[in-house]
A and B are shown apart, each in its own frame.
Chain A
Amino acid sequence: MSTYKLDYLDQLESEAIHIMREVAGQFERPALLFSGGKDSITLVHLALKAFRPGKFPFPLVHIDTGHNFQEALDFRDWLAESLGEKLIVRYVEDTIREKKLKEPTGRNASRNALQTFTLLDTIEEFEFDACIGGARRDEEKARAKERVFSVRDEFGSWDPKLQRPELWNIYNGKIHKGENVRVFPISNWTELDVWNYIKRENIALPSIYFAHERELILRDGKLLATAKGVIQQEETDEIVTRRVRFRTVGDISCTAAVESDADTLEAAIAEIQATRISERGETRIDDQVSEAAMEDRKKGGYF
């Protein structure tokens, strides 16, 4: 009997593939939201397992804030090209110009919130009915509450009190026109699971996930990448050169680096296993504004 048993990573993988195929089976115009970060790279790998030798039944869609790491953008283009899959990029910059949006200014200003506008416009433009994303429940406590199939109204809003019951592995993707569903195939994965899977499957990642020398801004004890026009320098900022890596890859303006010597996958995994600080706590600046920051953004249409 015991030979017919799946290891936990195989169980998580199978669950994620099943969810992706449900998207393909239930929706007319799905999309996979791709950021160039490790979670969305993992999603692409899972999509290969779910649909090859066929083509993906969805394009990769990137909402580019204009504040991305160049390494992540290069990786994104290389990946789409080498897989022969369709990539759609839409720019927050364009939304700001067209809609005359006011960009947040001042300390720790970020375009993270503005991304939502571009995302909703893109959903409307292509009439996407489902968007697959790489969010995980272990990241943050509002995420811990969200369903795998998360139905959003025509404004993209999440209503945590009106979530559909989600039983066994039955996913109800029936929606009205104008609504869409956010789908999270790796909901049940932890940060460490993602890293272990990347190692097991030998998945390529952008170089900034590994230790490298870099010029950085030291602000409030956090190390921010220097980038012209993205981060306004302040008098108290100190410019330093350190050996660092990025534990998450988001916007330059709200993703901090960690000092590290981990230049291989093994070393990076060892570092994550030993850490006493959570992924978002260490590297995300935008979650720390209030106790319910993420819940509020999700209600506004954010992922």
Chain B
Amino acid sequence: MDLLRFITAGSVDDGKSTLIGRLLYDSKSILADQMEAIERASKSRDDGEIDLALLTDGLRSEREQGITIDVAYRYFQTPKRKFIIVDAPGHIQYTRNMVTGASNCQLAVVLVDARHGVVEQTRRHSLIASLLGIPHLVVAINKMDLVDYSQDVFSNICIHYNELAQKLDVGEVTYIPLSALNGDNVVEKSANMPWYEGEPLLSYLETVELDHDENLTDARFPVQYVIRPQTAELHDYRGYAGKITSGIFRKGDTVTVLPTGETSTIDAIEVAEKHFDEAFAPMSVVLHLADDVDVSRGNLIVKSDNQPVVSQNVEAMLCWMDTKPLKVGNKYTLQHGTFRTRCAVREIIYQLNVNTYEETEDVESLKLNDIARIVLKTAKPVSFDPYDKNRVNGGAILIDETSNVTVGALMLRKEAI
């Protein structure tokens, strides 16, 4: 069976929690005692209505404020597919948490309130989905019941959104009119909108084509750990343990170890002590090389006929995630897969306004949740692919050298001149 990870971004007002609650409830993923707990908790609130948001908002402060602060993960399955819902906050002050949630998702559901159409928040969420390279986007136009299920309202929002999508690098966009509250077009096709010819949301989620999302072209293998039993019978055993992040490796392939550039041949591919002729992303395997080359954690093994960029000057999109500002000249630790190196911020090329998409130049520092195009100079060369070609080998983080906290998300774009 397939696994689909999708993100829903929005605040309570958009009906995000109601939508998730509806998906879980109608797919029978909320169990009786969990429902009772929600009913119990709802009674202690003023309105007394059953609040499906209580299902997803797991922290006390979230329940108190009625907002989502951090990402929560929910799991459900239908006979066709397994799903991981990444439930992320929509408020601008929690942008970094949405970026965290979006990084692993194959699909994003962007909620639009039918009464308000495309608003600032829609633009921000779409930008993040596009920056993080999410291949499938669903624009869920919610609260159709409050606009008399009007086809005109729906069409206008689609036209408006399409203009916005032109400015962004978004994948496939699908528009679905729905009412999460009443269940229209969530699981069942709505009788209130006979003019809508598409599928309800759940059928779309169950059938959207995922086969092409995995990059099977560029073979990349970051070495995590070297297995060396050093026992009498396994004296010469030396296996490189890691997870293939993209592409396919076969026994006999000529490979290059980066950044050193040494070459060798794949002697064996092992998974749990069984041998295979080939292995592909995202499998965790052990590779054996024919020659005694120097390989350790942090190295990247690639096929010699398809190599990534190897450079100490990197241009990237950055989402800044720390309360302490980033300034040109600051130094950080960069982590790219299993590889770490020190780096310095050489330049901020422009800052991107997340709501208007305007680019501002001559910026010297960035604050929490800012997004910008920057240039980094690294102490050791980074072996990366452009993020739009390869999400895993194109992503990296910045770590503060004194607090050790993850302070930035980097979408590496190209070698800087």
Nearest residue in A to B69 (C-beta to C-beta)? A161
Q: Is B74 an interface residue (CB 8 A)?
A: yes
**Contact call B406/A172, Cβ cutoff below 8 A:** yes
Name the interface residues of A27-44: CB closer than 8 Å to any CB of B.
Answer: none
Given the complex, which residues of A lie within 8 Å of B237, measured CB to CB? Answer: 53
Interface residues of A in 44-87 (CB under 8 A from B): 48-55, 57
User: Counting CB contacts under 8 A, is B97 at the interface?
Assistant: yes
Evaluate contact between B284 and A50: CB separation under 8 angstroms.
yes
7 further contact pairs, Cβ within 8 A, besides A12-B3, A172-B405, A188-B75: A10-B283, A22-B224, A144-B58, A144-B74, A175-B404, A281-B37, A295-B59
Tell me the chain B residues, 65-121 only, with Cβ under 8 Å from chain A.
69-75, 82, 84, 96-97, 99-100, 103-104
CB pair B227–A53 under 8 Å, yes or no, is yes
A137 within 8 A of B: yes
- B10-49: which have CB < 8 Å to A? 31-34, 37, 41
Q: In the complex, which residues of chain B have a beta carbon less than 8 angstroms from the beta carbon of A164?
A: 405-406
A6 within 8 Å of B (CB atoms):
yes
**Residues of A with C-beta under 8 A to B336:** 170
A1 touches B212 (CB 8 A): yes
Are B100 and A165 in contact (CB-based, < 8 A)?
yes
Residues of B within 8 A of A6 (CB): 282-283
> CA separation between A276 and B70, bound complex, in Å?
28
B396 CB-CB contact with A under 8 Å: yes
Query: In chain A, residues 260-303, which have Cβ atoms closer than 8 Å to a Cβ of chain B?
Result: 275-278, 281-282, 291-292, 295
Q: Which of A13-21, A103-111, A247-255 contacts B (4 or more CB under 8 A)?
A: A13-21
Query: Which residue of chain A lies nearest to B63 when distances are taken between CB atoms in the complex?
Result: A291
| Least CB distance, B378 to chain A, in whole angstroms | 16
B392 — which chain A residues lie within 8 A by C-beta? 168-169
Distance (Å) between the CB of A139 and the closest chain B CB? 11
B224:A24 contact, CB within 8 angstroms: yes
CB <8 Å contact, A276 and B32: yes
- B404 near A174 with CB under 8 A, answer yes
Answer yes or no: B205 CB below 8 A from chain A CBs. no
Interface size of B in residues (CB-CB distance below 8 Å):
72
Residues of B within 8 A of A (CB): 1-3, 31-34, 37, 41, 55-61, 63, 69-75, 82, 84, 96-97, 99-100, 103-104, 211-212, 214, 216, 224-225, 227-229, 234, 237, 241-243, 245, 248, 271-273, 280, 282-284, 297, 321, 333, 335-338, 391-392, 395-397, 399, 404-406, 409
The interface on chain A, measured as residues whose beta carbon lies within 8 A of the other chain's beta carbons, has a size of: 61
A161 to B93 Cα, complex, angstroms? 13
Indicate if the CB atoms of B73 and A188 lie closer than 8 Å.
yes
Given known A4-B216, A168-B104, contact A190–B75 (CB-CB < 8 A): yes
| Cross-chain contact B273 with A53 (CB below 8 angstroms) | yes
Please, which residues of chain B bring their CB within 8 A of the CB of A2? 211
Is B212 a contact of A276 with CB atoms below 8 Å? no
Jot down 30 A-B pairs with beta carbons below 8 A, ordered by A: A5-B214, A13-B284, A15-B282, A18-B242, A21-B225, A48-B272, A49-B284, A50-B241, A51-B241, A53-B273, A54-B227, A54-B229, A57-B225, A138-B74, A142-B58, A144-B72, A144-B73, A165-B99, A167-B406, A167-B409, A169-B104, A169-B392, A175-B404, A188-B75, A190-B75, A276-B32, A278-B31, A281-B37, A291-B41, A292-B60
- CB of A141 within 8 Å of the partner chain: yes
